[in-house]
Structure 1
Amino acid sequence: MEARLNQGSAVNVRKLAGFAFLLGIVPQAMIEAAVTAALPESARDLGVNGEFMAQMMMGMGALGLMLGAFLSGRVLERFGSRQTYLASLVALGLFGGAGLIVENVWLLFGSRVIAGFAASCITTTCMWGITSSFEAAGRGRRFGMAGSIGGLSAIASVITGGFLTQHLGWRFAFIQYVVVALTFLPFIAASVEQRHPESMHSNTGGFLGRVAPLYVQVLVLYSVIGMFSMQLPFMLNAAGMVDAGARSLIQGIPGLGVIFGGVVYGVLHQRIGAVWTLISSVGLFGLGLLSIATNHAVVPLTLGAAAAGLCMGMSMPYFYHAVSGRTGAAAGRYLGYLSACTFFGVFSNPMIFEPLKAMTGVRGLFLMSAGILIVMAAATALTSLRKPTAAPS
């Protein structure tokens, strides 16, 4: 009898740990989402180059995510899953919430980098936890579920940040990090056990050649997604949506797309194959950008936001699944590198896409971005037709 009770208790703990790993995408989704609706308002308070500085504030969070993604695999190997998760939550609450009180813009930027780093460590820990706990079929489903949870949290964070900005001021958007950290800490402490990747597998090298083409695809795709995310609040503001709360409702639409894309990823994966799921999502987003290039009104922007969300929701499970399948025991580290590629777009936007916008205008920027995605989808399709086993199906 006692043995059955102990076995049942162990099963319940494993289920709780599995749910804790699914929640790990939430802080990463919030790093950008929590403050994106506040960009136009913060731009008015951040000096002469306010729009650039506001985008840099968001970009510094992405820089932290990118640095954390490169290093989080090593952090996980050194400190283990439980310690990494809990310490990163504490850092997220402290430094993410620093925007409430920090006035100096450079200290604000620094706090954003640290908060992003912490969120990235949480995500890598959880993606490794899923990879090490489930077989290939189960991993695919849970990566899709994690993407949907991330989309839902992004919606909630964008809308909450928008209404906090509208009614209390843009700095109150940062309180969301504190709330999430305090809410998650007791649950994670009770459910996640201490494990080290190297305790099961010691060989973590030699896989870069297998995943490099995937990283290139992610760099291209998420650079364009980052550009769109940065430009959307300013374009909505220029289209007449001057209230942060109203803007946040449109900016939450990509989160809905992520949820829907994550839910249907498994179905499309089985019916048309993994690569064609990716191709369809990239092509759809490219067409959305093309429509925005011809009309900057609220409706095309809304449709473009939905296309961006669908693209993220359908593509990210593909990339997580593909990288974990090609790297096996070393997945924790290589999933971290994958995440770094996704954040480069947001970080690079003020330095790359803003100068391009100054030269070509908004229409030219979106036309060029749409062309990049359509070419990427076509090239991927041709590669798949020539070598159909190149990616997991």
Structure 2
Amino acid sequence: MAVISGVVQDMPASSPATDLPAWRRWLVIVILLTGGIKSALAFTSVVPALQLIAAEFGGAGDSVLSAQFVVTLAPVGMAVSGLMAGMIVSNRNLRTTMFLALGVCTLAGLMQLVVHNYFLLLASRFVLGFSAVVADVSMTSILAAQFSGAARSKLIGFRQAISSIGTVATMLLGGWLAQHYGWRAPGIMFLLPGIMLLLAFIAFDQPIRLEQIPASRERFSVWQLWPLLLLSLVMSIGHTMPSFQMPFLLKENGITSAVLVSRVPALSSTISILSAFAFGFVYARLGPWTLVVAATLMGAGFIGAGLAPGYEIILLCVVIEGVGAGWTIPFFLNRILDRTDPAKRSSAIGLVQSSLFLGHFLNPLITAPVRLTLGIHATFMVVGSALILIAVLIGGWSTRFRNTVRAI
């Protein structure tokens, strides 16, 4: 809490949150910083049990792809929700939208416990993803409205770190529940956003006041951010490899325990936590080159995992990948909030969320042909090589057109 205390002390006087009573300000900060955990649950409640889901719903088709669709229908809902965020979330209804979205997210997530029909399960996963992003856009917009300057940048990094902590904890818990009680059991973790909703009723008892932005500060329009949105989609495809593809890489290596499987994405998230806490330090020194370094590290980690002969070497490669992965989401959110007017933030945040989760959905579709043709090990090597190539292109482009590449 000492680190967060530093954020509270760094808040400029113009931040609306400074006018709140201390206990309510702390409760607001806690809710906003832990808000990303509910989106992580969309993955951690099913990823450790992917092999079990494949066994139940595989049928005569591709059981791997059937199981991956259970994961990726949530990102589909997230992507659709992000595109519609500008129409759903406005500066006048931030509280109400957040309350409703948290409630729907709780109910949709708990459906995993009771739904037995495969297509109804997919539908509930879509609703889960849709509502989770609506809640995320509302909460990120509230964060941007209540905090500004250096405090906001720090909070964005801390939010990603705490989200990763939640990912680690729920991934490990989900693996344990799946191992002992079946693949449905991790759905019980969706009681968490319900608890968050109850706390939000207490914390947000008044309308959200927006920060005042000087009219002279330059801003980009939402659609001028398309290079950033495209990059976030590409990076997201790589970002989901430890969760979506790693269980099947481990299976090829003879590792089938749900507990051991869950430790790999959990380790990735653990390293991402440390990276996210260090994001402000790295970003202040590297700027746009932060993304170049992140993509290089992720690519090297994936290539190594594809070549690794054993579990321990895979864990080492995941550590390398996790360093870069921890910087990606804070990078995109920071650039977006710095470049859009308050009135357009919901649309901009929604679009970057949409691109991130569209990448989640595209991951199994893009990698399936490579996996079926060359195998899962080659899939990791191809994705890793692509990320390193992208890093080289971004670095070269930024060096040559340093004064014109401003949307990145």
Compute the TM-score of the two structures, normalised by the length of structure 2.
0.87
CA apart distance, 1:30: 1.6
1:185-226 per-residue CA deviation (whole Å, 9 max, x = no partner) reads 22111002454799989x9x9713421111111111111222
1:26-45 per-residue CA deviation (whole Å, 9 max, x = no partner) reads 11122112210000011111
Partner of 1:3: none
Q: Which amino acid aligns with 2:375?
A: G
Partner of 1:106: 119
* From 164, 189, 192, the counterpart of 2:201: 189
Partner of 1:339: 353
Q: Distance in 2 between matches of 1:74 and 1:142?
A: 26
* From 51, 58, 63, the counterpart of 1:40: 51
Q: Which stretch of the first structure deviates more once superposed, 220-229 or 168-177? A: 220-229
Residues 291 and 9 of structure 1: CA distance in aligned 2, closer, same or farther (over 3 Å) = closer
Q: Which stretch of the first structure deviates more once superposed, 284-293 or 68-77? A: 68-77
* From 328, 332, 344, the counterpart of 1:319: 332
Give the 5 Å matches for 1:287-366.
Answer: 287-329=300-342, 330-366=344-380
Q: Distance in 2 between matches of 1:357 and 1:139?
A: 41
Residues 257 and 391 of structure 1: CA distance in aligned 2, closer, same or farther (over 3 Å) = farther
Partner of 1:15: 26
Q: Distance in 1 between matches of 2:68 and 2:226?
A: 29
CA apart distance, 1:95: 1.0
Unpaired runs of 5+ residues, structure 1, are: 1-6
* From 146, 171, 175, the counterpart of 2:159: 146
Residues 361 and 93 of structure 1: CA distance in aligned 2, closer, same or farther (over 3 Å) = same
Task: Tell me if structure 1 keeps the 8 A contact 2:101–2:132.
Answer: yes
Task: Tell me if structure 2 keeps the 8 A contact 1:57–1:109.
Answer: yes
1:12-58 per-residue CA deviation (whole Å, 9 max, x = no partner) reads 32332232222221111221122100000111111323322110000
* From 66, 71, 74, the counterpart of 1:53: 66
Task: Tell me if structure 1 keeps the 8 A contact 2:157–2:279.
Answer: yes
CA apart distance, 1:229: 2.4
* From 32, 35, 48, the counterpart of 1:24: 35
SS of the residue corresponding to residue 352 of structure 1 reads helix
Compute the TM-score of the two structures, normalised by the length of structure 1.
0.90
Q: Which stretch of the first structure deviates more once superposed, 336-345 or 297-306? A: 297-306
Does 2:98 correspond to 1:85?
yes
CA apart distance, 1:296: 4.8
Does 2:114 correspond to 1:115?
no
Q: Which amino acid aligns with 1:107?
A: L
CA apart distance, 1:328: 2.3
Unpaired runs of 5+ residues, structure 2, are: 1-17
Aligned length in residues: 383
Q: Which stretch of the first structure deviates more once superposed, 69-78 or 40-49? A: 69-78
CA apart distance, 1:104: 0.3
Q: Distance in 2 between matches of 1:229 and 1:131?
A: 29
Partner of 2:255: 241
Q: Which amino acid aligns with 2:194?
A: L
Residues 252 and 228 of structure 1: CA distance in aligned 2, closer, same or farther (over 3 Å) = closer
Q: Which amino acid aligns with 2:203?
A: S
Task: Tell me if structure 1 keeps the 8 A contact 2:224–2:407.
Answer: no
Identity of aligned residues (%): 23
CA apart distance, 1:87: 1.2
Q: Distance in 1 between matches of 2:206 and 2:324?
A: 35
Residues 79 and 96 of structure 1: CA distance in aligned 2, closer, same or farther (over 3 Å) = farther
SS of the residue corresponding to residue 19 of structure 1 reads helix
1:244-288 per-residue CA deviation (whole Å, 9 max, x = no partner) reads 122212221111122111111111122x32222221111111111
* Larger helix percent: 1
SS of the residue corresponding to residue 77 of structure 2 reads helix
Give the 5 Å matches for 1:146-295.
Answer: 146-177=159-190, 179-193=191-205, 195=207, 207-270=221-284, 272-295=285-308
After the TM superposition, list the runs of 4 or more consecutive aligned residues in structure 1 that deviate by more than 6 angstroms.
196-201
Q: Distance in 2 between matches of 1:243 and 1:97?
A: 25
SS of the residue corresponding to residue 170 of structure 1 reads coil
SS of the residue corresponding to residue 255 of structure 2 reads coil
Does 2:390 correspond to 1:376?
yes
Residues 332 and 307 of structure 1: CA distance in aligned 2, closer, same or farther (over 3 Å) = farther
Q: Which amino acid aligns with 2:31?
A: A
